Amino acid sequence: MFLLRSAPGLPRPTATTIVVADDQAFSRRLIRSSLSGLGKLIECRTGFEALEMVERQRPNLLVIGSRLVGLDGAEVTQLLRRASNGVQFTPVILVSGRTTQSSVLGAVTAGVHEYVARPFSMKTLRMRAEAVLTRPRPFVRTRLFFGPVPRASRVRGEVLGMSGENALARMICGVRLERADAETCPLGLGCICRSYVAAAVVEPARIEI
């Protein structure tokens, strides 16, 4: 189990908590097996339940299926990114059977951290979850987007809309959730977000997912 240090004002539990949301019991079991040992796992079936659980539990991670009753995974992510009180920074891994480029871009635009295609290997999902839990990603707010900075440079330009004035309006440290940029990282030289921040601010034309 990961023990995560809570930064000042960061509403997250000390021991890792992961919410798993999927309408299929088999899928929930597979996800639980993949993430076994990473922390406390809480299950729910619908998008509305996922939103309620995130608000109540303030988890370190939400793993959600793309097709849920009521609200789908992307819609849940969009609502979380519009929330407040720290809920908007909840990391999200979306699990989907759709593998088209438009589906991936749609999910990233909604604000997910990782997109895992079905059928997935348990090892792949676990590795993605561990990466999200141990390497917080900086968030960026533009006129049209709020979410984690995409990892792949070929996607960053499309999602962040690099053209236009003030395209990168605000970078936010993924650990302390404070204003950050390449020069004023709140964690100093040891900041684990620095590589993302530098790439986004200094070389915006090369950014991807």
> pLDDT tens across 158-197, in order?
776 654 444 456 778 888 888 877 677 777 777 777 776 6
Q: Which residue has the higher pLDDT, 64 or 181?
A: 64
Res 6 pLDDT > 50: no
Residue boundaries of the structural domains of the chain: 17-134, 139-206
User: Do residues 72 and 66 make contact, with C-beta atoms less than 8 angstroms apart?
Assistant: yes
User: How many residues are recorded in the chain?
Assistant: 209
CATH code of 17-134, in short, is: 3.40.50.2300
| Spatial distance between the Cα atoms of 173 and 138, rounded to a whole number of angstroms | 5
User: Do residues 145 and 181 make contact, with C-beta atoms less than 8 angstroms apart?
Assistant: no
pLDDT for position 199? 59
